[in-house]
Structure 1
Amino acid sequence: MHRQLAQQKAAQRTQEEEAAALRVTEIIKAKVEEVMASEATQQRIQRRLKEERASLEDKMTKQLENEKEKLIEKKRQEQEERQRKQLELERILEDNRRLVEDAQKKAAADKEQRETARHLPYQQSYDDLTKAAEYLQVIKYCLQT
């Protein structure tokens, strides 16, 4: 019986604690609703939302600016790389043009030298014949006088 009485007291205490907890919960809930419904709280919430939106907008703006700067830098580097490659190509083409020009000049000089060497014996014979003809003219003149 003593045990039953103790169990009843424990059950009653538990019920009282649960009822008290329920009342406290209801009081807290009512207080929270009252505070949340107040104009001051709504204004604070709106102010905080506005501040957070502004902060997020600033962060996003900064992030977009950073991404924009990175893209601009990337495009600048790509442009510099294209220009560098173009200049290198132009240098190679100029070197090749110069090599071709030098080879053509050398080929022309070699050809002229070969032509000169080929015609040299004929030129010498022609010169000899011209001198002989001049001597003949002189002799002919001398004989006539």
Structure 2
Amino acid sequence: MTVRREASCRCGALRAVCEGEPVRVSACHCLACQQRTGSAFAAQARFPADRVTITGEARVWTRVADSGNTTDYSFCPTCGSTVHYSGGNFPDAVAIPLGAFADPGFPAPKFSVWEERKHPWTVVLGDDVEHMD
């Protein structure tokens, strides 16, 4: 049986249903992710776009990175939660913030990126995580 996971915003109006396992689960310490989350890092899961079904109204904000790549962030116009984003280095995938799944059993990150921006007091990820600057 295929795994089915559902993510949503805080008020429940914007949802993403993901079929199967994520192709990548990562923690990112870049300044843009810190600003997006209001935290010291972000954790997200990426799924192939054809395995994600989005329902509900979303507003979109597009960020242009220093590289010139663009990422479209979709958030709930009522509660403001980012539920999914796409583009950037993974144009064929949809990223979902792990907190949107509200599932403490969600698979742990296997990648930690932008570590040169990591706060020295940030939580330590498991020994099986690939650390990338």
- TM-score, normalised relative to structure 2: 0.12
- Relative CO higher for 1 or 2, CA cutoff 8 Å, sep ≥ 6? 2
| Higher fraction of strand | 2
| Higher fraction of helix | 1
Question: Rg bigger for which structure?
Answer: 1
- TM-score, normalised relative to structure 1: 0.11
